[in-house]
Structure 1
Amino acid sequence: MAADDEACAADHVLRVALRHSECVGGEVLEQEHGLERVRIDMNVEMPLDMKADGVSSSGVRTCESVVLKLPASWPWQSPRFYLREDFPRHFPHLMPFSTPPRPCLIDGDQDEFFLQFGLVDYGVFHLVDQLAVWLRKAAINDLIDPEQGWEPMLRRDYRDIVELDAEHARSLVDRKGGWAVWKGKYYRRGDPSGLLGVDAEAWLSSDGERTPLKTSEGDDTFTASPMRGDMRVGNTVLAIIWPDKKSDGSAFVYSTYMPEDVETLGHLRARAEEVGCARGLDAFLSNIERSFAGFVLPAPIPVAVILCARRPVHLIGTESDIELLPYVIDVRAEQGRQTLFAQGNDEPVSPAAHYQSISAPLLRSLSGSPEQPPLVMLGCGSVGSKLALHAARSGQDIVCISDQSGLRPHNMARHALGPSHVPNSKAEALAKELEGFGLRPELHKGDLGRDLREQELAKTLLPKRAGAIINSTASLSVREALVDAAPPRYRARLFEAALFGRGRGAFLLADGPRHNPNHADLMAEMYATIGGTPASKLLFDPAEGLAEIRIGQGCGSLTMQMSDARLSAMTASLALEVNELMAVPATDGTIIMGTMDDGTPATSWVRYQVPPFETVEIAGTDGWELRISKRVADRIRAEAASYSAVETGGVMIGCTSARLKTVTVVDLLDAPPDSQRSAALFVLGTQGLHAAIEARHEASGRTLFDVGTWHSHLQDTGPSGTDWNTAAELAAERTPPSILLIATPTRFHALMHTKEPD
């Protein structure tokens, strides 16, 4: 391979270009402004009848001379291709305002395309090949494929920007024609007396709120701040103008592709005439003149005009046939003026690029996310704030957020929000950030454990329109209050997300249909089933858990040491899991656990499906309920069936909540070897029982306890007198509550004696 050097770069490019079959000649030209240039002559394939004339019906010649200019940073940048000065400008894929015309050869960054080939020779050859294809399509007017859609004007290199929701603007368009004015904001950078697009640039944005054109005392439709460096900000307007109907009543369709060559107000009027918007533009300009009568501003105010051109087919990438053509004009309301536009039709106008404003459809399209129902975020700490912003960035609405604490300097180690929000309320700070995504969530800054139990407050925290409630507080009181507050008929699915083990572990709980299993059930199930896994060590090892961190003189915070990178990685995965679970109807509860490998960021995730728990009313109590894991219920029935001629039983392991009035059973201990089984009675033995209960308690990270005993009945009979006596004995001997569960062939019975036996 021959090496390039500065002296022979142009020669080398010419040699490579001539290897292409459509490149039939060329020469190295004199340098221009210190840059090397090459002319190549390209054969253009076209139909025979056009070839005989030497030029196509679209104005492309059978042999086109193209100049390649090598940039100063060659070969780190690609050659620039220039067509002849009089090349027709009515084609798409021509760079606007370029003189001579520059074809747009690549859908994307031409330099990146060039560099991807590694070798300069390959990069140049493939660009020449793209040029040959472009010229061939231009010759037969095939640069727009009607099946693919209409190719909008190239506007990506313009310095001036108009940001608005394109679909909202298009929704205004009707067959009659008209115009509307939206409130807007602007940033104008550069010389106040300079030309937009040349000496200055402007960014105008609008959320689509209509406004009348007026400038009365105290009105803030048009404002200008003092200069801050070279920038000024303020309020302005954007005019949306759409075409009138034709004289025969049909819609005005403009099917000719035209280059973007508007430079003056006269050009803009001509463009408006072409696309059927002349009446609307004239009306807007007259009204803005009238609204500024007697009003003086010491600074130029950029105003946007968006012409809505109706095309014969839909635009590429959309279902709409309306192309938005945005322009920016500086309005100068100077003292002693005769008009806002002193130069008349020669008043400068700057074509602008359009940026889609932040909206849920835009965010969903960029993130590849489906439309999801709204969220409620309970907890706006490090985990909750990151989950909220992940949801917002995927186009999901957040209708309520809650946190009673404030942002403090130490939160900045891992919180999604920056230091500028300190010392505001976490909920208020997150709500302010979400405003930028167009979200307006309800705020709650009270005690969730208390307020979820207040009926009126619960309506705000659990709104009917929410599709999911995410609890990231890591609070037992909030978990139980949420379980208590959500009735079976409440449709939103409840999630709980938390990190443990200094960020090397994470779990997500998702309740089942009609909130069964609930989060209290799922936590107990998790404690019962993760023994011996890497997650159990992280969750149960005190060395991996919470530690007091000094956050100020005389101040400490119970928290976990972990990096923001680790927390962000785990939280992002939790966000993905929430999305997956929300995409399908719930059939079971779900436990998802992730653990990070030692010495590497690789993370393993496992998912457990948890069927609804069986519930049994506990006789002898004031409304207590026994909740039995299906896994345990199946095991009880299987053992009872295996002892079909005698009663059998064992010990139940689980946890209790006095606030929920529930006893949850998630494991069993086999009956000790000295237990007695007969057709009429089961007597639980004691040999090794205490040690087995203690061992199970320790293995669960001291979260699960002995909550009672169970035994079978051979017939479908409820509790006998003997059973009630046994319950009384259990109440006297054991720490309450102590449940007696009876398994009959068709159902469960549960009882608890709450008084001392007589």
Structure 2
Amino acid sequence: MTAIDDAFDQLRRHRGLSRVGDPVEVDGAIRIEIDIPVELPSRARPAGVSATGVRAIETCTLVFPSGWPLCAPRPYLRADFPLDLPHINPHRSGQLVSPCVFEGSLDELLHRFGLDAVIDQVIEWLRNAAAGMLIDHAQGWEPTRRDACPSTIVFSAERLSAAAPIDGTILTTSASYATVEGGLFAFLAPGFNPWPDLVFDQTQQGEPRGKWASGHCAAFVARAPIIDGQPHVVATYQPETVADLDSLLGRATALGVDRDTLARVLDDYYRRSVFDPRQDMRGWTHGLYAIVVLVVQRPVALVGTPGRSIEVLPYVVRYEVDAQSPFERKASVHPAFHAHALAPELLARTSGHPAQATTQKLVLLGCGSLGSKIGLHLGRAGFGGFTFVDNEGMSPHNLARHALVDEMSGLLPPNKAEQMKAAFAKLSHADARAVDGDAVSVLSDAARFADVVPDDATLILDATASLQVLAAASKAAPLAGCSARLARAAMYGQGRCAVLMLEGPGRTVRVDDLAALLFEHCRVNPEVRVAIAGDSTEPTRVFVGDNCRSLTTPISDAVVSRSAAPMAIQIERWLVGGLPLSGQLCIGVADAAALGMSWTTVATSPVTVVSVTEDGGWDVRILPAVAEAIDADARYWGASETGGALIGRISYECRTITITGLVDAPPDSVRGSARFILGTSGLVQNLRRAHADSLGYLMFVGTWHSHPLGGPHSGIDRETLRSIARDAGGLPAVSLVWTPTGLRCAIDRW
């Protein structure tokens, strides 16, 4: 049995068909007619035809190409099938009508579900056509279909719609084009600046000479006038039927555009171009072109374009120019494809983000390998309002892992921030800024901060991997009154661990709190601890010249990307869905036996801050889990005093002691109604283990105990604190007292 015989047999078995004709070969393809009983609406059944013109029995011609069975058959309906229905492919008068029965590829449908599925789609299409349900306004307006256009016009639909005059006049603007064999590929000038006196020009290109041509032509943008604040809404679907100048003017009239005005501007443009003394129309061997874009207000948003209910319909007008008869206007017109120009709106739509969300202003501190990759991911997702801050230039070895690969041929190494700005400009982000500056100075100087960080910024991302910047950010006074939230991205262990931190609203949780929490997490999670430790705790000196070295971590570009992409995804979610109301610590650990990373997010409520004036003044920052554990233990023991040891991080630069965890009281501790004595059995070993498990980041910083009846530190408490301070080697020691009304803190240093 041949492939066609097999198809014929399948069609005869299909229950939705009332007749299957014999296969007939026409021009190398096989045609099989099938009769399809159509389920008409009840009110149309007596007449045998629906209000939309669909009959009770419709004959469909299936054209099996020579590529069958690798290629699906194409369905065609009778030549007089009604054309005022959506989802009909362009065709010429007198030909069979080609319905668009499937949103995707019929070839893919065939190979996924078989020939029956193709026939089912035709049956379903006819049923919906009979019921007038080919357009579902709940899904959006179906744009006018164009499947066989020789021309493509590139422009931003949103920006053109905004530029289209609303008073009935016609905007004349410029387009650059290339043409070959009657087709046009053109870019409308992105600013849509008016150019009423524009004349056509054309330069012959290619070999043999004149194989193709390029130049500039006029683009005319027209829409129906807005009257009394109300746009002219066109709610009737019209298939594409424009084939000449008269039908173009007729389509304009049907859409509310003044026919005579459009005809006049086209005529003036032709005459102006042909008789311009600077032009030689004898060289216009490819013809004289004009572009017309009709802007139409639809009743609902377009399918695939949420939020935009304006449809754009571009056409190409081609005049054959005869130098002997310049007054004779021989014009042909054909519809053109619209292709979105590269614009933030297109990037956002392609990435699935609402355009409004991508207008937020962002600041990136550090444009190195990690920062550049996160920035470019966000830029390609439509987020273009960046201020890039970096004071370093690109070195050749940076290109091993940097997102940018521009050639460095100048005398001076290009600044990383400037290169990021240039890359964003190529992505159509015109508002990106570059600051050649040090992140520390930006965070430390209020005036500098005000110059760099926009007042309405949403997020500041620190991707410097600098501990100095972390310290500066921790105590940065300008951040206190800033609307922007601070985030920090970093990699550890040669890229085996990636960390993204987000401060809480109003800095109720800071990046230094989250950094300390990360290493507290190491104490209880061996996988995180091993990943952060990596093979070495120190950067490696990589030789970048015969006598030059650079401190860096030797990891591949792919490893950096493995961390950067999930971080960018999380940031996108924060920006689109709204920043969370808590601090966030996102930890990614490379899978030992796989290629990806496993991510965990820890949400952190506000930190408890106790300020003390002793020893020059310190802020003791107590992470929520610690405060909750102390409170739970104190209430468990009730009237008896209890306590334990404190683990944390001391920062002299910020005059901050961050308490991240506890070591439980040893079993030989004494709890009484008037006193708590911390035991010693195993205490030193447990403290050393906490220090080691936190990779040396955290240490013993003091003790805590409860006062069930309240009250400040007693004399005995002070003496105990002094004893701990003597053994601390010059480090400050903390004594934290739980009372029913809150925590009290004392600090001593020997």
When normalised by structure 2's length, the TM-score is 0.83
- Secondary structure of 1:22's match? coil
Give, in angstroms, the shift of residue 310 of structure 1.
Answer: 4.8
**Identity %, equivalent residues:** 31
| Distance 1:738-1:88 versus aligned 2 partners, 3 A rule | closer
Query: Partners of 2:680 and 2:48 in 1: how far apart?
Result: 107
Larger mean CA deviation between 529-538 and 599-608 belongs to 599-608
1:534 aligns with 2:527: yes
Structure 1 residues 47 and 446: CA distance shift in structure 2, 3 A:
closer
Q: Which amino acid aligns with 2:316?
A: V
Structure 1: state its 5+ residue gaps: 216-220
CA displacement at 1:241 relative to structure 2: 0.3
Amino acid in structure 2 at the alignment position of 1:575: A
2:658 alignment counterpart: 664
Quote the residue 1:520 is aligned against: 512
AA partner of residue 149 (structure 2): Y
Give the drift of 1:327: 0.8
- Residue 213 of structure 1 pairs with residue 200 of structure 2: no
The answer to whether structure 1 residue 188 and structure 2 residue 178 are counterparts is: yes
For 1:753 and 1:139, how far apart are their aligned partners in 2? 87
Q: In structure 1, what is the equivalent of residue 567 of structure 2?
A: 574
* 1:530 partner SS: helix
Number of the residue aligned with 2:17: 22
Instruction: Pick closer, same or farther for the CA change 1:79–1:411 going to 2, 3 Å.
Output: farther
Question: Aligned to 1:91, what secondary structure does the other structure show?
Answer: coil
Q: Distance in 2 between matches of 1:208 and 1:289?
A: 23
- Shift of residue 616, structure 1, vs aligned partner: 2.0
For 1:608, the equivalent position in structure 2 comes to 602
Superposed CA deviations along residues 155-204 of structure 1, whole A, max 9, x for unmatched, are: 144242223333444456687523224555x45253xxx312xxxx3132
Distance of 2:586 and 2:229 partners within structure 1: 61
Q: 1:539 to 1:312 in 2, by over 3 A?
A: closer
Structure 1 159/452 Cα, relative in aligned 2: closer, same or farther at 3 Å?
farther
2:368 corresponds, among 375, 381, 391, to 381
Q: Residues 1-400 of structure 1: matches in 2 within 5 Å?
A: 4-5=2-3, 9=4, 11-20=5-14, 21-32=16-27, 34-42=28-36, 65-98=59-92, 99-117=95-113, 122-123=114-115, 125-135=116-126, 138=129, 143-144=134-135, 150-171=141-162, 176-182=167-173, 184=175, 186-190=176-180, 194-196=181-183, 201-215=184-198, 227=205, 237-244=218-225, 257-277=237-257, 278-286=259-267, 288-289=269-270, 292=273, 293-296=276-279, 303-310=290-297, 316=303, 322-329=310-317, 344=329, 346-369=330-353, 372=357, 373-400=360-387
Does 2:424 align with 1:434? yes
Alignment size in residue pairs = 725
- Matched to 2:567, the amino acid is L
Matched position secondary structure for 1:153: coil
Deviations for 1:522-571, whole angstroms, at most 9, x for unmatched residues? 11122123224201111124448744444444444444444444443433
Distance 1:303 1:637, change over 3 A: same
Q: Residue 374 of structure 1 aligns to which amino acid in structure 2? A: K
Contact 2:494 2:534 in 1 (8 A): no
Query: How far does residue 154 in structure 1 lie from its aligned partner after superposition?
Result: 0.9
Q: Structure 1-normalised TM-score? A: 0.82
- Does the C-alpha gap of structure 1 residues 681 and 25 become closer, same or farther in structure 2, counting only changes over 3 Å? closer
Amino acid at match of 2:728: R
2:719 and 2:214 map into 1 onto residues whose CA distance is 82
Any conservation in 2 of the 1:540–1:700 contact (CA below 8 Å)? no
* Cα displacement (A) at 1:441: 1.8
SS in 1 for 2:146: coil
Distance 1:328 1:634 in 2: 71
> SS of the residue aligned with 2:332?
coil
What SS does the aligned partner of 1:415 have?
Answer: coil
Q: 1:492 aligns with which of 469, 484, 502?
A: 484
Change (3 A) 1:225 1:489: farther
| Distance across 2 between alignment mates of 1:147 and 1:376 | 39
Check conservation: 2:20, 2:32, Cα contact below 8 A: no
Cα shift at 1:617:
1.9
The offset of 1:637, in angstroms, is 4.9
What is the CA deviation profile of residues 298-317 of structure 1, one whole-angstrom value per residue up to 9, with x for unaligned ones?
66785431113455776556
> For the residues of structure 1 that align with 2:239 and 2:308, how far apart are their CA atoms?
21
CA contact (8 A) 1:709 1:738 kept: no
Moved more, 306-315 or 260-269: 306-315
Distance in 2 separating the partners of 1:733 and 1:223: 88
Superposed, which structure 2 residues align to 1:713-728 within 5 Å? Answer: 716-718=710-712
Return the alpha-carbon distance in structure 2 between the equivalents of residues 523 and 449 of structure 1. Answer: 18
SS, match of residue 633 in structure 1: helix
**Number of the residue aligned with 1:218:** none
- Structure 2 SS opposite 1:660: coil
Rounded to whole Å, the distance in 2 between the matches of 1:133 and 1:153 is: 20
* Paired amino acid for 1:612: P
Alpha carbons of 1:732 and 1:141: their partners in 2 closer, same or farther (altered >3 Å)?
Answer: closer
Q: In 2, Cα distance between the equivalents of 1:179 and 1:427?
A: 42
Q: Is 1:594 the counterpart of 2:596 in the alignment?
A: no
* Matches of 1:619 and 1:241, distance apart in 2: 72
- Measure the CA separation in 2 of the matches of 1:638 and 1:321: 58
**Distance apart, 1:111 and its partner CA:** 1.6
Where 1:452 maps in the other structure, the secondary structure is: helix
**CA shift digits 1:65-113 (9 cap, x unpaired):** 5443322322111122334445554433222135443222212222222
Report the Cα distance in structure 1 between the residues aligned to 2:631 and 2:41, rounded to whole angstroms.
Answer: 84
In structure 2, distance between residues paired with 1:484 and 1:112: 59
RMSD over equivalenced CA pairs, Å: 4.2
Tell me whether 1:475 sits opposite 2:466 in the alignment: yes
- Over residues 428-466 of structure 1, what are the superposed CA-to-partner deviations in whole Å (9 max), with x where a residue is unaligned? 232223231435222123221233212222124432212
Once the two structures are superposed, residues 44-84 of structure 1 have per-residue CA deviations (whole angstroms, 9 ceiling, x without a partner) of: 56579988888777666665554433223221111223344
> In 2, Cα distance between the equivalents of 1:680 and 1:255?
84
Question: Given that residues 171 and 222 in structure 2 are in contact (C-alpha distance below 8 angstroms), is that contact kept between their aligned partners in structure 1?
Answer: yes
Is the 1:204–1:304 Cα contact (8 Å) retained in structure 2?
A: no
C-alpha change, 1:725 and 1:504, in structure 2 (3 Å) is: closer
Aligned-pair CA distance for 1:652: 3.3
Which letter does structure 2 place at the counterpart of 1:465?
A: D
Q: Which consecutive unaligned segments of at least 5 residues does structure 2 have?
A: none
CA distance in 1, matches of 2:325, 2:715: 105
CA contact (8 A) 1:183 1:207 kept: no
The alpha-carbon deviation at position 622 of structure 1 amounts to 3.7
SS of alignment partner, residue 107 of structure 1: coil
Shift of 1:626: 1.7
Aligned to 2:435: 444
Quote the Cα distance in structure 2 between the aligned partners of 1:146 and 1:585: 33
The amino acid that maps onto 1:388 is G
Q: Does 1:631 align with 2:625?
A: yes
Q: Counterpart of 1:609 in 2: which secondary structure?
A: strand
Quote how far apart the aligned CAs of 1:363 are.
4.3
Q: Is the 8 A contact 1:501 1:545 kept in 2?
A: no
Structure 1's 336 and 649: CA in aligned 2 closer, same or farther, altered over 3 A? same
Deviations 1:315-353 (A, max 9, x none): 556666644221123589x997986xx652x32323112
Alignment partners' CA distance in 2, 1:148 and 1:734: 69
CA distance in 2, matches of 1:535, 1:168: 48
